[in-house]
Amino acid sequence: MKLKVSQIVGRDSPFGGQPERMIEFTLSEIPFRPVPTSEVGRISFEIGREMTSAMGLPFHMVGSQKVPKVVLILSDTEYQDLGMQFEVNGIYELAFSGEGNMKFTKVDSKVPT
């Protein structure tokens, strides 16, 4: 899965005051929801929009997708053990091994925001 670093925050741990880093990732590619192209599909789409409007809900809010997030909170030692210096807006591939380990691989240096 490809993840984009959206935020890196350094802070002291609430448990003992040791320094730690909070890294927030979001999916770099949000799945696209296709718009119907056939006549029957467009009619169904319009009926759904009219019913939503009749209920008083803005159409753009119905079925809107939230961007999934992954948040890592790591001590400085754990961060260094990853062997990766994360950059905000950098894209990283996340893979899980059979032993439950995570491996990050840098895919691209920057993504337009």
Q: What is the pLDDT of residue 62?
A: 47
pTM tops 0.75, yes or no: no
98, 104 Cβ separation under 8 angstroms: no
- Give the C-alpha separation, 109 to 87, whole Å: 8
Pairing of strands 2-12, 19-27: antiparallel
pLDDT digits (tens, 9 = 90+) for 79-109: 888 888 899 999 998 888 778 788 888 986 5
